[in-house]
A = this chain, B = another copy of it.
Amino acid sequence: MLKYQQIAEEIEKYIEENELQQGEKLPVLDTLMSQFDASKSTVTKSLDLLEKKGVVFQVRGSGIFVRRHKRKGYISLLSNQGFKKDLEESHLTSDVIELKVRKPTAEAARNLNLELADDVYYVKRVRYINGQTLCLEESFFNKSIVTYLNKEIVSESIFNYIREGLGLKIGFSDMYLHVGMLTAMEADYLGMEEGAPKLDVETVFHLTNGQPFDFSIVTYNYEQSQFFLQANSQLL
């Protein structure tokens, strides 16, 4: 593990263990440098990481402060694939409805840069949170990259398997959100009424080398759809 990741982790752990609140001040850079026996750039890099994650914010001429958000029970839109993080106390399960090799839909082919004749793994799941339906998920995996899947893998964390089992490196993703009304089929899976509000999240996942390997469409039950997002304005 890299030094700056290590430092970032320790600082984050320190914040959690001491239950520091929004606005509380962390030790100054000099202290952190000697404490972790690292150069200024390295410590700064750790802090930039934490800032990107929404854990701290830095104020020039003043100090480094803890950043917290107040609300519980929200799903972080960015702690990508595998909510896990913000819903630690919640119980998440999945029902696998379908798992097979097939040809992609036109939309899936377009998003994965595939031909209609190429093979994809198709996975359809319903996800539950504390026993209530959370979402319906359909995923298309480029079979030439994700070469094997089975029911066991698919009922657990597919992404962990892709990372550890297949040794692939997941890079970045593009997400598209739409609000609409549930179709009869979706309503059925989610145990809701047809025409109820829904949020569709379509995501294209890429490897670190830029290859798209997964296109997924997730339809959220609006009653469980509380999402959270942290932004930094210094992008311009």
Interface residues of A (CB under 8 A from B): 22-23, 41, 49, 52-54, 57, 59, 62, 65, 67, 69-71, 74, 77-81, 110-111, 170-181, 197-199, 206, 208-210, 220, 222, 225-236
Contacts and interface: CB of A to CB of B under 8 A. Distances in A.
B173 A230 contact: yes
B57 A172 contact: yes
Contact of A69 (B67, B174, B180, B227): B174
A222 B179 contact: yes
Given A74-B176, A179-B220, A197-B181, A171 B210 contact: no
A201 B51 CA distance: 22
B23 A176 contact: no
A110 B70 CA distance: 10
A207 to B, nearest CB: 9
Contacts of A79: 235
Contact of A232 (B57, B172, B198, B236): B172
Given A197-B197, A197-B198, A230 B175 contact: yes
A177 B210 contact: no
16 contacts: A41-B41, A52-B52, A59-B208, A59-B209, A65-B210, A74-B176, A77-B229, A171-B233, A171-B234, A173-B230, A175-B231, A176-B228, A177-B228, A179-B179, A180-B197, A199-B199
B57 A171 contact: yes
Nearest to A49: B235
Contacts of A181: 197
A174 B233 contact: no
Given A41-B41, A209-B62, A78 B179 contact: no
